[in-house]
Structure 1
Amino acid sequence: MDYEFTYDDHGHPSLSLDMGQETTANWLNSEIGTDIIKLQQLLDIIDELKAGTREKYEVKSRRFQLVLNRDEADISEMHNGINEQTTEDGLDYAEEGLTIYEDESISGCGLDDLEDLLLAWQSFIS
């Protein structure tokens, strides 16, 4: 996973990821940011998953859903609490035989890749 750490116009640390990983970048920038405690808690959970003392970890916020297991990390962006397959006007895309472009609202990677990214982020913001 290729990433770039920079500072935004306000001097806050910011992560940029490759195309297809935008949701991971948005999640880290907004949900973790510079919160060292949240970051360390997540790294501890990853350690538990890798050690086999935890099978799965799932957390939802207003904007994101994070699902971790021993091998993978999946991050989905929530759309104002609306199911990803249903529009605001109630149209059910699956029922209509349509799909929603999801590349910008779902990211996945290996658990090791996420851990490496979080450790690099921890180093960058410290």
Structure 2
Amino acid sequence: MEYEFLRDLNGAVKVRMSMGHEAIGQWFNEEVQGNLALLDSVEAAAAAVRGSERQWQHIGHEYTLWLDEEEVMIRANQLALEGDELEEGMRYYDEESLALCGLEDFLAVIAAWRAFLQGR
């Protein structure tokens, strides 16, 4: 999973993710937006589920994040619609609205996000 951090014209941090992981980037861009308390919650949840079969989820405005001891899934809330409700030809957008990655990889992105915010 590749990613790049940048600042927009207003100085806000944005992340661009590699193909197949765009939803992760959108989660950071839409849900986190500098909300370090949310990142703290995710890191605490990751520590809490380690060595167990428990799962944790955070439902945001645009995206929902699920994690267990091995994997993270981020899905756009709009995908919670039943499959029959989507118009014909709209399914290909799912790839930009759903992403999976390993928990350790996701925690590494969080650490890199924090480092970028601090100018390191």
Q: Give me the TM-score of the superposition, normalised by structure 2.
A: 0.85
8 Å Cα contact 2:72/2:103 also seen in 1: yes
Deviation for aligned residue 1:74 = 0.4
Report how many aligned residue pairs link the two structures.
Answer: 117
Q: Indicate the residue corresponding to 1:30 in structure 2.
A: 30
Alpha-carbon displacement from aligned partner over 1:68-107 (angstroms, at most 9, x marks no partner): 011110000122x76151336xx6x7xxxx8822211100
Deviation for aligned residue 1:59 = 2.0
Please give the secondary structure, in 2, of the residue aligned with 1:75.
Answer: strand
1:18 matches 2:18: yes
Q: Indicate the residue corresponding to 2:77 in structure 1.
A: 78
**CA shift in 2, pair 1:107/1:77, >3 Å:** same
Query: Bigger CA drift: 30-39 or 16-25?
Result: 30-39
Q: Which structure has the highest helix share of the two? A: 2
Deviation for aligned residue 1:64 = 1.1
Structure 2, unaligned runs of 5 or more: none
**CA shift in 2, pair 1:54/1:120, >3 Å:** farther
* Alpha-carbon distance in structure 2 between the residues aligned to 1:42 and 1:11: 24
Between structure 1 and structure 2, the one with the greater Rg is: 1
* Alpha-carbon distance in structure 2 between the residues aligned to 1:53 and 1:82: 27
Q: Indicate the residue corresponding to 2:91 in structure 1.
A: 100
1:69 matches 2:68: yes
Deviant stretches of 4+, over 3 Å: none
**Percent identical across equivalent pairs?**
25
8 Å Cα contact 1:78/1:84 also seen in 2: no
**CA shift in 2, pair 1:38/1:87, >3 Å:** same
Q: Give me the TM-score of the superposition, normalised by structure 1.
A: 0.81
8 Å Cα contact 1:48/1:54 also seen in 2: no
RMSD: 2.2
Structure 1, unaligned runs of 5 or more: none
8 Å Cα contact 1:58/1:68 also seen in 2: yes
* Alpha-carbon distance in structure 2 between the residues aligned to 1:30 and 1:99: 22
Deviation for aligned residue 1:35 = 1.3
